[in-house]
Amino acid sequence: MALLADKTAVITGGSTGIGLATAKRLAEEGAYVFITGRRQAELEAAAKEIGDNVTVVQGDVADPGDLDRLYTVVADSGRRIDVLFANAAVIDVARLGEITEQHLDHLLNIDFKGLVFTVQKALPLLEDGASVILNSSNTNAKGSEGIGVYAAIKAAVRSLARTWASELRDRNIRVNVVSPGATDTPGLNDLARVLVEGPNAVEEFERQQRSVIPMGRRGTPDEVANAVLFLASDLSTYTTGADIPVDGGTNQI
């Protein structure tokens, strides 16, 4: 039997990368999936990849009104939420001395405020016994100067999981974190073009990353999706407040 048969999942940032891979994986295991993203064309393309069991809702997690609209769509479908993957995030680069209010606000609005309200606004629709999964990150900034604010926010996400796991225990709602390391996504390649100069920025950045990853390669979105599936399913019913690293051993060895 499918691990998520008759379950409903909501995934923010579900049109590309880790979010899309996770949406496909959860749908394969029987879940009906709602995905969000800022760009309608990418959402529609993602829906074609996922198949029949999906609804797309265009919106930005930084806008509380868009989150309200997302959950209205879910409620109007007659469904309740069994799995919530707060995945949407961006990364901007600014070294200490170069940080602006715009830089700080952009990261905080999407990566922190957006995540907080993604979870808080879902509470009335969350089934007792639901699984909430937060996407953190490998926050080791070695070799990636300029991501201090991003790394600090991701560390805060880890802290939220601990607090919320305790606050929601009476409803038997589990809250966990998945922390990907260097993962082969469009966003990581965009970051490479910012951090590394030259026409071969993507290749050079990947080479630099491989040199410090014990497994000697980047991860794939599918590998992260498998970790999310574990946390989403009844395979992890005694796991809450945990951080599951999917980083090739970068922060473990």
Instruction: Cite the active site residues.
Output: 150
As a three-state string, the secondary structure of 209-233 is HHHHCCCCCCECHHHHHHHHHHHHC
Token pair, residue 60, equals 């930005």
**CA proximity to 207, closest of 149, 143, 151, 157:** 143
- How far, CA to CA in Å, does 102 sit from each of 11, 94, 111, 187, 197? 27, 11, 14, 20, 24
Token pair, residue 61, equals 């997690």
For residue 218, report the phi and psi dihedrals to the nearest 5 degrees: -75, 155
For residue 244, report the phi and psi dihedrals to the nearest 5 degrees: -100, 105
